[in-house]
Amino acid sequence: MGELDEVVPPLTISPQGPVETGRRAGDPGPSQSEPRAGRRACDELPAVTRRRRPSLPAAVRGLPLGPPSGSRVLHSFLWFVQPTGVRSRQRWLPSLVLALGLALGWTATPAAAVAPTAPRVEARTAVVMDAATGAVLWQRQAHRPVLIASTTKILTAIVASDNYSAQKVLRVPEAAERVDGTRFGYRAGWLIRRDQLLTTLLLVSANDAAETLAAAWPDGGRAGFIQAMQAKAAELGCTDSTWRDPSGLDAPGHRASAADLAVLGRALLERPVLAKLVGSKAAPYTWPSGRKTVLGNHNHFVGWGRDPGALGVKTGYTTKAGSTIVAAQRRNGRTLVAVVLGSKVMYDDVRALFGYGFKVRPKVDAELLGQLPDPPQAAPDATLPPAADRITGRVGASPSPLVERLSLRILAAPVPMAALGGVACLLLGALALVWRRR
Q: Do 248 and 332 belong to one domain?
A: yes
How many C-beta neighbours within 10 Å does residue 49 have? 9
Q: Per the residue annotation, which of 95, 150, 257, 280 is the catalytic one?
A: 150
Does a structural domain hold residue 161? yes
Which DSSP symbol is given to 298? Answer: S
* Spatial distance between the Cα atoms of 76 and 73, rounded to a whole number of angstroms: 5
Point out the catalytic residue in the list 161, 205, 241, 257.
205
Q: Which residues pair with 283 in a beta bridge?
A: 295
Q: Same domain, yes or no, for 195 and 273?
A: yes
Interatomic CA distance for residues 116 and 33, integer angstroms:
86
232 is catalytic: no
* Other CB atoms within 10 Å distance of the CB of residue 396: 9
Tell me whether residue 238 is in a domain.
yes
Tell me the backbone φ, ψ of residue 104, rounded to 5 degrees. Answer: -65, -40
Q: Among 309, 342, 357, where does a domain finish?
A: 357
CATH number of the domain residue 203 falls in? 3.40.710.10
Distance CA 96, CA 105 (A): 14
Domain that includes residue 78, residue range: 63-116+390-438
195 found inside a domain: yes
Catalytic-residue membership of 289 = no
| 31 included as an active-site residue | no
Q: Are residues 200 and 150 in the same domain?
A: yes
Whether 264 and 406 share a structural domain = no
Same domain, 351 and 402: no
Beta bridge partner(s), residue 49: 7
Asked whether residue 101 falls in the same domain as residue 249, the answer is no
In a domain, 166, yes or no: yes
Question: Is 54 inside a domain boundary?
Answer: no
> Among candidates 179, 343, 340, which has minimal Cα distance to 249?
179
Residue 277 shares a structural domain with residue 314: yes
Please give the full DSSP string across 164-179, using - where no structure is assigned.
S-TT-EEEPPHHHHH-
| Residues 275 and 413 occupy one common structural domain | no
Residues 274 and 340 in one domain: yes
Q: What are the start-end ranges of the H helices in 52-91? A: 72-75
Q: Active site residue: 153, 247, 257, 323, which one? A: 153
Residue 171: inside a domain, yes or no? yes
Cα 363 from chain centroid (whole Å): 14
What are the pLDDT tens digits along the chain (438 aa)?
444 444 545 555 555 544 444 444 445 554 444 445 444 444 444 544 455 555 555 554 554 555 554 445 444 444 444 555 444 445 556 666 666 666 655 555 444 446 788 899 999 999 999 999 999 999 999 999 999 999 999 999 999 999 999 989 999 999 999 999 999 999 999 999 999 999 999 999 999 999 999 999 999 999 999 999 999 999 999 999 999 999 999 999 999 999 999 999 999 999 999 999 999 999 999 998 889 999 999 999 998 888 999 999 999 999 999 999 999 999 999 999 999 999 999 999 999 999 999 999 999 999 999 987 665 555 444 444 454 454 444 444 444 555 555 554 555 455 566 667 777 777 777 777 777 776
End-to-end CA distance of the chain: 38
Asked if residue 372 belongs to a domain, the reply is: no
**From CA 312, how far away is CA 114, in angstroms rounded?**
31
Same domain, 180 and 306: yes
Do 215 and 98 lie in a common domain? no
- The tally of domains found in the chain comes to 2
Task: With respect to residue 219, please indicate whether it lies within any of the assigned structural domains.
Answer: yes
Together in a domain, 296 and 430? no
| Rounded Cα gap, residues 112 and 2, in angstroms | 62
